[in-house]
Structure formats: structure tokens, C-alpha cells
Amino acid sequence: MLIMTRRLYFAAAHRELPNSELTGNTYTLDVAVRGPINERTGLLVNIKELDRIVKERVLNQIDGKCLNDRISFFQTQPATPENIATYIAETIQPLLPSEVQLHSIRLQPTPVLYTEWFSQLTEAANMLLTKIYEFSASHRLHSDHLSEEENRDLFGKCNNPNGHGHNYELEVTICGPINPTTGRVLPPECLDAIVEREVLSRYDHRYLNLDVPEFAHVVPSAEMIVKTIWERLRPCIPTPARLYRLRLYETPRNLFEYSEADQKE
């Protein structure tokens, strides 16, 4: 099976709740379909046909519009990114060519937040919500289990006794059902408070080896940082939501991911 993603854009205004303020976003929409490659055409699906379906049935109805006024679905449901992604998925899924299936919908209303609908999530009606955070910290890669020479050989410049720093980018993804009242998997401000308390206030502008107790005798590699953050955040996410995935960018070229699949191994 092959997965192909088509990116589109639209702008829309909305009220998340009936009495809330009218706001708007320019959305990035990724529509992913999966299926076998047609040996005759070499294609998974005709992109023009996919564009036509999405534009005619979704974008023409919502682009430049107020969702609550235009779409009956949002007259009874909060116009949150989670519900918008669900509406798009449910609208286009039965209209796709028979040779492909809808794999996922990824909707990004801001540079630091996106939601994902997946056809193959194990629990029905579950969504993924991701929020992106930044923190700066310094560290020294040095293991108590190795000799000074072994540490220098293994870690090189990263073994500098005075340490070195990074501007880290952390993606926190939670999974759960959409709350019918709020339209959210978890209110972003609730996730913000948890990440601020458990991660940012502890790690930001710190020398991890000396300032953070969990790294006193643990090498603060990016691998161990993302695993430690997982262990701090996981018990703090209120049910029925749960921590699903962490991605830690140490540099634009170094990405480390830890997920609930890793936890089960």
C-alpha cells in the first residue's frame, strides 16, 4: 500500500462556542489517501480528481466563510480544529475513487498547533492533537560508566567540560475522544499549563547536568531527554486523553521520537 498526501489551504472564520468571539484562521490541510499503485497509469490516484472532490465538496463551502453560519454541522458542534478535521474527513471519505481509501486528515490552524484524524486509530472517534513548544538548554555528554578518554572518543566536542547548548523544539501529541461540549481532545491551555510546569519551567535556560535532578547521573542526550519528558508528562495528561507521541528536535537535522508504542516494548 502507498500513501499519498495532497496539501491545500483555506481560510475560515468561526466561533468555537455559541457565545465566544468570532475568530479566523488560515488553515493548512493535508489530505492523505492510501491504496495500490495502478500499474497501467503508474498513479495511486489522479490528483486532479482528488482536488476536485475536496474543493467542490469542502473548500468551496468553507473557504472565506463563517463556519457556524455556512455549515449546519457547526451550528450544533463547536468549530474547533478537531471537529473541522472530522467534518472534512466524513465529507470526502465516501466520495473518493474506489481504488483508494482516506488515510488521514491533518489540519494546522497555527504554526504551533495541528490536529490529525486517522482512519486506523484503534479507538473510534479518537483524534490526535499536537502542540509545539520551544526551550533552550545546555548539557554535557559525559557518562560516569566510561573513562575520561572513552568519553572524549565517544562524544567528541559534545564532551566539552563547560557544556554546549541547543534551542530545542518539542512536539507534544495527545490522543483521545472529542469532548462533545468543548469540541476538544484537551483544551490547549490545559496542555500548555502541564508542559510549562513539567518541562519548560524545569529545562528552559538550564544546564541540564547540574540544574535538573533527573540528569545528575544520567547522560542528558536527546534520546534520554525525550524519554524523561515522556515519563514526566504521561501521568499528568487528564483522562480520557493520553500522551501519544513526543518529537524532540535537537537541531534541524536531528529529530528524536518517543511514542506509546515504545512504552509498550
pLDDT in tens, 220-253: 999 999 999 999 999 999 999 999 999 999 999 9
Span 191-216, average pLDDT: 96
Which of 118, 153, 170 is the last residue before a domain boundary?
118
Q: Which of 140, 133, 135 is nearest to 207 (CA)?
A: 140
Residues 247 and 131 in one domain: yes
Residues 128 and 259 in one domain: yes
Residues 132 and 245 in one domain: yes
> For the chain, what percent of residues have pLDDT higher than 90?
87
231 is catalytic: no
Q: Which of 125-129, 141-145, 178-182 has the lowest mean pLDDT?
A: 125-129
Span 160-182, average pLDDT: 94
Which of 55, 86, 118 is the last residue before a domain boundary?
118
Residues 43 and 155 in one domain: no
* Catalytic member of 205, 217, 231, 236: 205
Residues 130 and 205 in one domain: yes
* Catalytic member of 66, 158, 190, 198: 158
Q: Where does the chain show beta strands of DSSP type E?
A: 2-14, 23-35, 65-66, 101-110, 113-118, 126-139, 164-177, 206-207, 242-251, 254-259
Quote the number of domains for the chain.
2
Residues 114 and 125 in one domain: no
Residues 54 and 140 in one domain: no
205 is catalytic: yes
Predicted confidence band of residue 41 (pLDDT cuts 50, 70, 90): very high
Residues 234 and 252 in one domain: yes
Per the prediction, the chain carries an average pLDDT of: 93
Residues 112 and 126 in one domain: no
* Residue 157 φ then ψ, to 5°: -65, -25
pLDDT at 265 over 60: no
Q: Which of 102, 86, 52, 60 is nearest to 180 (CA)?
A: 86
Span 29-49, average pLDDT: 95
158 is catalytic: yes
Residues 103 and 127 in one domain: no
pLDDT at 123 over 70: no
Q: What is the CATH number of the domain that holds 77?
A: 3.30.479.10
Q: For residue 263, what pLDDT is reported?
A: 64
Residue 183's domain comprises 121-265
Which of 93, 118, 143 is the last residue before a domain boundary?
118
